[in-house]
Structure 1
Amino acid sequence: MLSLLLVVGLILAAAWVARRGGLLRNQNQQRIKILDNRRLGPRSSVALIRIDEREILIGITPQQISLLHTQASASPEADFQTHLDQHRAPR
């Protein structure tokens, strides 16, 4: 009985450590995603970030982070439908 309690205690302790360390975080629930990052020099870069349904391009230097461009993310279904509508000409 004592060994069973020890094993259950170890499982609970491992789950607590994993949760505190971020190992059990669901990737699909993250609102902020880094889509791409490019270095421009030794201490400067640009990053493309998606926050909810917006894509944001930022410039990063040691002194500041600057907003360069913002646009709404287009869903792949909407792009396909637009492309289909443009090429479907009435004959």
Structure 2
Amino acid sequence: MDQGQLVRILLSLILVVGMILAAAWAARRGGLLRQSQTRRIRILDSQRLGARATLALVQVDDREILIGVTPQQISLLHAGAAPRDDDDFRSHLDQARSS
């Protein structure tokens, strides 16, 4: 293998790596690598309690749920009520004022 072939192989390798990096950059800029904003389940916060136990605050649709996670199980600790619609709140407020 002479020096000319070695330089050609090295330049080809640099070109291929550059094309891969450019494609990854374009995909990221174009939104192909972004996470979807329409996820129904999101982890809002988590707190480690020990070496193998964690509390996690999870949002499912519009509801917040507190769960405990250990290697053996996942336990529901608290489920918050789903938020009420403004019209529903307004009707409850009107009822409270009239009483």
Q: Return the TM-score normalized by structure 2.
A: 0.51
Question: Hey, which of these two has a bigger chunk of strand by percent?
Answer: 1
Query: C-alpha root-mean-square deviation of aligned residues, in Å?
Result: 3.3
Deviation sequence 1:4-58 (CA, Å, 0-9, x none): xxxxxx8xx6767x53xx4x3333x111111110111011011010100111110
Q: How many residues end up aligned between the 2 structures?
A: 77
Q: Residue 53 of structure 2 is aligned with which of 5, 20, 44? A: 44
Unaligned runs of 5+ in 2: 1-19
- The alignment partner of 1:72 has SS state of coil
**2: CA distance, partners of 1:49 / 1:62:** 18
Aligned to 2:35: 25
**2: CA distance, partners of 1:26 / 1:40:** 30
**1: CA distance, partners of 2:83 / 2:56:** 18
Q: Which of these two proteins has the greater Rg computed from alpha carbons?
A: 2
Unaligned runs of 5+ in 1: 1-9
